[in-house]
């Protein structure tokens, strides 16, 4: 019994560490088809997904350097439904919200704050891309 509890606690701690460092994605979605980008490698400064009949939410911490300015660009091509992407913090709530194709925004990152990306799908079919670069 103690071994099982120890394994559960170790898994929870490892999951939390992976989540706060941007390597674990929390999914609450239902989709006929979903293909998303990986949070490392060539796609580390870009979130891209293709999906069909997708409803739900995806949450992930994005890794941004503190005290820097970032330019974000959002694009989406949908045949039906809607997609909204938000960047927020635990304390301040939503900092940026993207819901229109071709939308851009600038964000100055603060010390000691983790930024979370949340994508919300409402019966959506198509694709979206959110990319950012350091200015």
Domain coordinates of the chain in residue numbers?
Answer: 26-134
**Structure pTM?**
0.85
Structure confidence by residue, pLDDT tens digits, 107-135: 999 888 889 999 999 999 999 999 999 88
Query: Measured over all CA atoms, what is the biggest interatomic distance in the chain, rounded to whole angstroms?
Result: 54
Structure confidence by residue, pLDDT tens digits, 7-56: 999 999 998 888 888 778 888 899 999 998 876 667 678 899 999 999 99
The pLDDT of residue 45? 85
Q: Provide the token pair at 101.
A: 């194709």
pLDDT higher than threshold 80 for residue 104: yes
Instruction: Report the relative pairing of strands 69-89 and 115-134 from DSSP bridges.
Output: antiparallel
Q: Is the distance from CB of 98 to CB of 84 less than 8 angstroms?
A: yes
Tell me, which fold does domain 26-134 have in CATH?
A: Jelly Rolls (2.60.120)
Q: How far apart are CA 57 and CA 31, in angstroms?
A: 11
pLDDT (mean) for 87-98: 88
DSSP summary character for residue 40: S
pLDDT higher than threshold 90 for residue 103: yes
Rounded to 5 degrees, φ, ψ at 65 are: -70, 140
Q: How far apart are CA 41 and CA 14, in angstroms?
A: 21
The pLDDT of residue 63? 84
Q: Which residues contact 97 (CB under 8 A, 6 or more apart)?
A: 84, 85, 86, 87
């Amino acid at each position: 019994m103690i071994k099982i509890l120890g394994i559960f606690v170790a898994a929870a701690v490892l999951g939390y560490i992976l989540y706060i460092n941007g390597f674990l994605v929390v999914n609450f979605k239902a989709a006929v088809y979903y293909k998303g980008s990986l949070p490392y490698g060539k796609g580390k400064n870009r979130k891209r997904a293709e999906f069909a009949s997708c409803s739900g939410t995806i949450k992930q911490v994005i890794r941004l350097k503190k005290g820097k300015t970032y330019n974000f660009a959002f694009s989406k091509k949908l045949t039906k439904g809607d997609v909204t992407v938000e960047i927020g913090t635990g304390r301040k709530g939503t900092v940026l919200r993207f819901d229109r194709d071709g939308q851009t925004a600038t964000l100055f990152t603060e010390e000691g704050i983790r930024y979370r990306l949340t994508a919300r799908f409402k019966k959506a079919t198509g694709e979206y891309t959110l990319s950012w670069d350091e200015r």
